[in-house]
Amino acid sequence: MVAVAASRQIPRKPLLVGGIVLAWLVLWLVLRDVGTLPLDASQLTPLHRWINEVNDAVGASRNTNPVFLYFFNEIRLVIDEFVTLIQALIAQPSFGRPVPVIGWLGVVAIAGFVSLVVAGWRVALLALAGFTFLGLQGLWQESMDTLSLTLAAVAIALLFGVPLGIWAGLSDRVHRVLTPVLDFMQTMPTFVYLAPLTLFFLIGPASATIATLIYAAPPAIRITAHAIRSVPRDTVEASESLGATGKQTLVKVLLPSSRKTIVLGVNQTIMAALSMVTIAALIDAPGLGKTVVKALQTLDVGTAFNAGLAIVVLAIVLDRVTTAATERRSLPRWALFGGLGVTGVAVYLSHTYLWAAEFPSDEVEVGSSIRQGATAATEWVQDSLPVITGGVKDFVTWALINPLQALLAESPWFLVALVVVALSFLVGGVRSAVVSAVCLGLLIATGLWQDAMVTLASTLVATVIVMLVGIVVGTWMGRSTRADRVIRPILDAGQVMPAFVYLVPFLALFSASRFTAIVAAVVFAAPVATKIIADGVRSVPPASVEASTALGASTWQTIVKVQLPMARGALTLAANQGLIYVLSMVVVGGLVGAGALGYDVVAGFSQGQLYGKGLAAGAAIVVLGVMLDRLTQAAARRWTNQEVR
Amino acid sequence: MDPVISVRDLWKVFGPKASQVAASDELKALSRQELMDRTGAVAAVRGVDFEVAPGEMFVVMGLSGSGKSTLVRCLTRLVEPTSGTVVFEGENILAADAKRLRDLRRNKFSMVFQHFGLLPHRTVADNVGYGLEIRGVPRAKRAERSQEVIDLVGLSGYEKSYPDQLSGGMQQRVGLARALAGDPDVLFFDEPFSALDPLIRRDMQSEVIRLHREVGKTMVFITHDLSEALKLGDRILIMRDGQVVQVGTGDELVGAPADDYVRDFVKDVPRANVLTLKWIMRPPREDDVLDGPELAPETVVREAVRSVLGAGKPVKVVRDGELLGVVADEEILEVVAGEA
């Protein structure tokens, strides 16, 4: 009965949606620029001022308030000490020496040796070459700072993450409690918690490390739990049936069986940490990220590219080493001791002699050539291909961004709110309508309504492009194993790269603009969406595809009538994830001219009097994220259910 | 002889109100579906009784969802029974505490699993020795014993291989060796061969029969395959919806099915291979010539065909000199021709 009622409702829906949009357009013409709740860049609302005051008050009582004295400050001190220790070892002059304890030669040797042991000869060579290249780029110290911060965050993340993951793997209750918390930690745009963290832990390495922890620990926890959970039941039962104690089963069966997957989790954690450490440059984390941010702010594409390249090299080395570590391997004894000996000598040399401690970047250096090359290439592209770069940019701006932004940001707030609530009701019923109404109310409360609408417009445009790319490429990958083999590594690499790195080439091509920010967001989000869609298309049962072909359907018909509809779960998931990824790039976009909420957040980090506004903008991004997430999920539920019934 | 395992009124109910169900005679009387509708609980095993004699090969047979796998797990408390008793060598297993239970599992019984349950990160030898390792047997002793059972199950030469390098049949031999390594009194088999190809399955069945003969252990074997049950089982218990439908030897099931369910089940069994003369003999008639050859009532029909058809007169079925009945051409042909 329900099925009949539901299927009869379907044709009416698009009409209603169309009607609402049409009414919106008409009212927009009439009411344009009325009640748009604008706020100038330097203007503040009482809420923003109040947050500023809280910030000042916290700052004033940092060394008197017991909560800070005995809790936050202690944490900050321990983490600071830990980071400083690692920095003293490999990055910064320390212990009264003009150079770190271990110089470049020692670090390169250690990197090579560790790679040799866990990942084999070829990866070891890659690690040696990669680390040496960092020095050649003239970025040795910055790279080591980034590495120190990453290692510190990863160590702490694993220290807590792996045991928690094991616990969640063993206990259903812990798993149930932990899952939503992890979801929240991972879906929250990374920049958003940078600001509140600085409130408690000050600007600097401690905040950066904690922010990185928050971002990097969930994969370790999640994947460990998953690994423990997916050990076959028979295997666990077999162990129990032989009379193993719980501890014996854990140590001898569960952990060894899930080792490979847990190493994968470590890999994910390291990559997430690296990407976050560079982003944490916004709150003054030392390292390569800082070099990129500074260069972006002065639009120095060459320097940004050089530092971005260093991040990529570091990412590739760390990724290869940890990925290769999942394989079973054993090293001949002579190689082990030989490598140990060579490494020991190198460490000693680098501790003792200046030439082995400080990278001789005056004599051998490629960094300046890279910088000049990148700058020259940029100028050439901008000068000789303005039709392509400028044309695309202008077209998208004129055809998509401007109209949508005008509609959202120049309509009266009550009109937009009404439309959103009405659409939410159509998509997800009363519940969705209530959620949307609450979120819209919160947006108004942040005092940044118009900025939020501008950001929303860019976000929607970016998501549409992400979905278009995802459907085209994902379907191709899902249908062709060869395409999948070629494209998937590229997508993986795209996801591994820290978000900053994307900005550099696009900034070079399109200069600072909303379009640049959208492209960066698309590049960041498209791999996820594409992979989800590819997997969805791939998992359509071959029998259905064969049946369709046997009935004489063309390739196009099979895609449109069989594969995509059957992969609709994946499509909605891809849209949802695409949105969240795009939103998490909003702040990065703020660095390259996206304006609106992204700019508010970035400005909040750098200017004291805008701190409160930045925090409110961060909250507005989260609220937008929650609203869009709920909406797409409701749409997904409705869509999938309807078709299934 | 005292039974090795004796199960009395065993219940296993899954769901929120499990213990309530087991305590209520009214709820216990409901069918599975009614119980599900009334309480949301699923009764997987419902009031099962049986005994297994020492050295017996006892087969539990049922279709998927009949509760047979749950039943065998209740016997070793891999699944905690809701109520009832399981007496193992005179000891009520359900009363054992965790430590005693571990001791029992380490020394008294072991299990072979459908999907083998091998440890992928260990070699064949280390997999086989796993149970001993858990007990704390020293390495040298362990290696020696592992080698013995590896030879016994025909895996010699594969000690250093990893499970993923072996075929399904070989992997299950590892599972078998692991179960035998601890020299348990009873072996439980949970559909050990249903994941294997038919030919390999036949090999492994013969292997189990051979092992049973050689080591003489009590075995409880779960299967959904009637021909496997008939081939292996000294006695067979047929389960349906968590309840025992019939317990008996193969020829009892075929010759005297307890109800239509069992009758339907054994319909396609080649009766000549299973039935014995006692199921087809008839009382001697006036005109029977009673000087033909004699055969025991336990003789399988198939083996009697040649003597009966060759005799040209009825064959006498005799036990201890007493004439139980006669079998003539028509009785034999009826069975061989498959008309029941």
Query: Residue A254 is encoded by which pair of tokens?
Result: 């569960």
Amino acid identity, position B210:
R
Region A58-82: mean pLDDT is: 79
Measured CA to CA, the distance from residue A469 to residue A524 in angstroms comes to 12
- pLDDT average, residue stretch B139-156: 91
Beta strands in chain B (DSSP E): 5-14, 42-52, 57-61, 83-88, 91-92, 109-112, 186-190, 218-223, 235-240, 243-248, 294-295, 315-319, 322-327
pLDDT band (50, 70, 90) for residue B221: very high
A234: nearest CB among B103, B117, B131: B117
Residue A644, pLDDT > 60, answer no
- Does A259 contact B121 at a Cβ distance shorter than 8 Å? yes
Q: Which residue has the tokens 């820290």?
A: A498
pLDDT in tens, B169-195: 899 899 989 988 888 999 999 988 888
**Interface mutation target, options B72, B78, B97, chain A, most CBs of A under 10 Å:** B78
Q: Which residue's entry shows tokens 């609450």?
A: A438
DSSP helix/strand/coil, B318: strand
> In sequence order, which residues have a C-beta less than 8 Å from that of residue B118 and are 6 or more positions away?
A235, A238, B127, B163, B171, B174, B175, B178
- Residue A478 C-alpha, separation from nearest chain B C-alpha, in angstroms: 28
Three-state DSSP class for A165? Answer: helix
List the structure tokens of A173: 């209750």
Check residues A66 and A616 and name the one with the higher pLDDT: A616
Q: How far is A534 from chain B (nearest CA, A)?
A: 29
- Residue B131 and residue A237: Cβ atoms within 8 Å? no
- Contact residues, chain B, for A250 at CB < 8 Å: none
Given the candidates 3.40.30.10, 2.60.120.10, 1.10.460.10, 1.10.3720.10, the CATH classification of the domain at A386-411+449-645 is: 1.10.3720.10
Instruction: Work out the minimum CA distance from B156 to partner chain A, whole angstroms.
Output: 23
- CA-to-CA distance for B62 and B42, rounded, in angstroms? 17
Q: Which amino acid is at B130?
A: Y
Alpha carbon distance, N-terminus to C-terminus of chain A: 10
pLDDT at residue number A645: 34
Contact (CB<8Å) A252/B134: yes
Domains defined for chain B, CATH in brackets = 52-108+184-269 (3.40.50.300), 272-336 (3.90.1280.20)
> Quick one: how far is CA B283 from the chain centroid?
34
- CB atoms under 10 Å from CB of B265, counted, come to 22
Nearest in space to A510 (alpha carbons), one of A368, A396, A371, A369:
A396
| CB atoms inside a 10 Å sphere around CB A557 | 13
What's the distance, Cα to Cα, between the start and end of chain B in Å? 37
B79 in contact with chain A, both atoms CB, cutoff 8 A? no
Of A238, A239, A257, nearest to B121 by CB-CB distance is: A257
Contact A252 B102 (CB under 8 A): no
pLDDT at B76 over 80: yes
Question: Which residues touch A306 (CB under 8 Å, ≥6 apart)?
Answer: A137, A138, A139, A367, A370, A371, A374
pLDDT over 70, % of chain A: 94
d(CA B10, CA B24): 14
Residue A498: the pLDDT is 66
User: pLDDT confidence of A328, banded at 50, 70, 90?
Assistant: low
Query: Given A236, A242, A257, which is nearest B105 (Cβ)?
Result: A242
Measure CA A437 to chain center.
28
In chain A, which residues have their Cβ closer than 8 Å to the Cβ of B175? 238
Chain A residues close to B78, C-beta within 8 Å: 237, 240-241
Band of pLDDT at residue A544, cut at 50, 70 and 90 = confident
In contact, A307 and A288? CB cutoff 8 Å: yes
Calculate the average pLDDT of chain A.
81
Q: Predicted confidence band at B125 (pLDDT cuts at 50, 70, 90)?
A: very high
Q: Is the pLDDT of residue B210 over 50?
A: yes
Interchain pair B78, A239: CB under 8 A: no
pTM of this structure:
0.73
Please state the φ and ψ torsions of residue B222, each to the nearest 5 degrees.
Answer: -100, 135
* φ, ψ dihedrals at B280, nearest 5°: -120, -5
Cβ-contact B186, B109 below 8 angstroms: yes
B175 Cβ under 8 Å from any chain A Cβ: yes
C-alpha closest to that of A234 among B112, B71, B109, B193 = B112
Average pLDDT over residues A503-531: 82
pLDDT of residue A431 exceeding 90, the answer is no
Q: What is the pLDDT of residue A12?
A: 66
Strand order in B294-295's β-sheet? B294-295, B315-319, B322-327
A329 exposure class (CB count in 10 Å sphere: 0-12, 13-18, 19+): exposed
Question: What are the structure tokens assigned to B257, written together?
Answer: 């099915």
Q: Is the pLDDT of residue A298 over 70?
A: yes
pLDDT at B52: 93
In a mutagenesis test of the B interface, which of A241, A254, A260, A263 is the best target, namely the one with the most B β-carbons within 10 Å?
Answer: A241
Decide if A235 and B175 are in contact by the 8 Å CB cutoff. no
* Contact present, B8 and B51 (Cβ < 8 Å): no
A 239-268 → B contacts, CB under 8 A? 239-245, 248, 252-253, 256-257, 259
- Best of B93, B101, B119, B146 to disrupt the A interface (most A CBs within 10 Å) is B119
For the record, the structure tokens of A138 come out as 């003239």
Mean pLDDT of the region B293-317: 83
The answer to whether A126 and A317 have CB atoms below 8 angstroms apart is yes
pLDDT in the model for residue A5? 43
A237 with B134: Cβ contact below 8 A: no
Mind telling me how many Å the CA of A119 is from chain B's nearest CA? Answer: 18
For residue A234, which residues of chain B lie inside 8 Å, CB to CB? Answer: 113-117
Contacts of A640 (CB under 8 A, 6+ apart): A568, A569, A572
Structural contact between residues A139 and A342, judged by C-beta atoms closer than 8 angstroms:
no
pLDDT at position B6, please? 93
Rounded to an integer, what distance in angstroms lies between the CA atom of residue B48 and that of residue B50?
7
pLDDT of the residue at A11: 52
Structure confidence by residue, pLDDT tens digits, A562-604? 788 888 878 888 888 888 888 878 777 777 777 788 888 878 8
B17 touches chain A (CB under 8 A): no
- The Cα of B5 is separated from the nearest Cα of chain A by a number of Å equal to 17
Q: In this structure, are residues A258 and A162 in contact, taking their beta carbons and an 8 Å threshold? A: no
Residue A1: the pLDDT is 37
What is the β-pairing status of strands B42-52 and B57-61? Answer: unpaired
Between A395 and A167, whose confidence is greater? A167
Taking alpha carbons only, the member of A503, A598, A506 closest to residue A289 is A503
pLDDT score for B338: 63
> Does residue A3 have a pLDDT over 60?
no
- Of B105, B175, B178, nearest to A243 by CB-CB distance is B105
- The C-alpha atoms of residue B96 and residue B81 are separated, in whole angstroms, by 13
Cβ atoms of A440 and A420 within 8 Å: the answer is: yes
- Mean pLDDT of all residues belonging to chain B: 87
| Model confidence band, residue A6 (pLDDT cutoffs 50, 70, 90) | very low
Taking CB atoms and an 8 Å limit, are A238 and B118 in contact across chains? yes
Q: Can you give the residue ranges of every domain in chain A?
A: 386-411+449-645
Query: Touching check for B111 and chain A: CB below 8 Å?
Result: yes
Write down the number of H helices and E strands in chain B: 17, 13
A331, A117 in Cβ contact below 8 A?
yes
Find the residue in B nearest to A253 (Cα). Answer: B119
Residue B5: per-residue pLDDT: 92
B111, B119, B133: residue with CB nearest A241: B111
B-chain residues near A255 (CB < 8 A): none
Which residue from A270, A295, A292 is spatially nearest to A280, judged by alpha carbons?
Answer: A292
Nearest residue to A141 (alpha-carbon basis) of A310, A388, A308, A326: A310
**Distance between CA atoms of residues B111 and B187, nearest Å:** 6
Q: How many CA atoms lie within 13 A of B118 on its CB side?
A: 30
Buried b (16+ CB within 10 A) or exposed e, A516-527: bbbbbbbbbbbb
Task: For residue B104, give the chain A residue with the closest CA.
Answer: A243
Residue A555: both structure tokens together: 């390739």
A227 min Cα distance to partner chain B (Å): 14
Across the interface, whether the CB atoms of B76 and A241 are under 8 A apart is answered: yes
pLDDT in tens, A303-327: 888 888 888 888 888 888 888 877 7
CA A163 to chain B, closest CA, distance in angstroms equals 21
Per DSSP bridges, beta strands B235-240 and B57-61 are parallel
Chain B residues with CB under 8 Å of A236 CB are: 117
Residue B154 backbone phi and psi in degrees, to 5: 80, 35
C-alpha radius of gyration, chain A, whole number: 27
Q: Do B134 and A242 touch (CB under 8 A)?
A: yes
**Going by C-beta distance under 8 Å and a sequence separation of 6 or more, which residues neighbour residue A444?**
A37, A413
pLDDT of residue A9: 45
The contacts of residue B16 (CB under 8 Å, 6+ apart) are B39, B40, B41
Please tell me the predicted confidence (pLDDT) of residue B124.
92
Chain A: give the shortest CA distance to residue B338, in Å. 40
By the CB < 8 Å criterion, does B178 face chain A? yes
Q: Does A326 touch chain B (CB under 8 A)?
A: no
Q: pLDDT higher for A450 or B236?
A: B236
Residue among B78, B101, B118 minimizing CB distance to A237? B78
A352-372 average pLDDT score? 78
pLDDT at B50: 93
Give the total residue count for chain B.
340
Does the CB of A237 have a partner CB in chain B at under 8 Å?
yes
Going by the DSSP 8-state scheme, the letter that residue B284 receives in this structure is P
Nearest CA in chain A to B118: A235
Lookup result for tokens 């139980």: B324
Query: For chain B, what is the radius of gyration of the CA atoms?
Result: 23
- Condensed to tens digits (0 to 9), the pLDDT of residues A382-401 reads 777 767 777 778 888 888 88
Mean pLDDT, to the nearest integer, of A119-143?
Answer: 88
Percent pLDDT > 90 in chain B is 21
Q: Is B50 on the interface with A (CB under 8 A)?
A: no
Count the neighbouring beta carbons within 10 Å of the beta carbon of residue B114. Answer: 18
Residue A176 scores a pLDDT above 60: yes
Q: Do B175 and A236 touch (CB under 8 A)?
A: no
What backbone phi and psi angles, to 5 degrees, belong to B43? -90, 105
Residue B110 touches chain A, beta carbons under 8 Å? yes
Per-residue pLDDT band at A479 (split at 50, 70, 90)? confident
Which has more confidence, A381 or B213? B213
C-alpha angle with apex B73: B71 to B78, nearest 5 degrees? 145
Least confident residue range of A262-271, A472-481, A501-510: A501-510
Query: Mean pLDDT across the stretch A477-503?
Result: 77
> A177, exposed or middle or buried, with CB in 10 Å at 0-12, 13-18, 19+?
exposed
- pLDDT classification of B237: cutoffs 50, 70, 90: very high
C-alpha–C-alpha distance, residues A577 and A260, integer Å? 27
C-alpha to C-alpha distance for B33 and A376, rounded to whole angstroms: 77
Determine the average pLDDT of the residues in A160-189: 84
Instruction: Identify the CA nearest to B12 among candidates B49, B48, B35, B44.
Output: B44
With CA atoms as reference, report the closest residue to B58 among B298, B248, B273, B274. Answer: B248
Decide the pairing of beta strands B109-112 and B186-190.
parallel
Within an 8 Å CB–CB cutoff, is residue B174 touching chain A?
Answer: no
Residue B282: phi, psi to the nearest 5? -130, 160
Q: How confident is the model at residue A80 (pLDDT cuts 50, 70, 90)?
A: confident
A239 to chain B: which residues are within 8 Å by CB? 117, 130, 134
Highest mean pLDDT among A18-27, A54-63, B129-138, B310-319: B129-138
DSSP 8-state code for residue A193: G
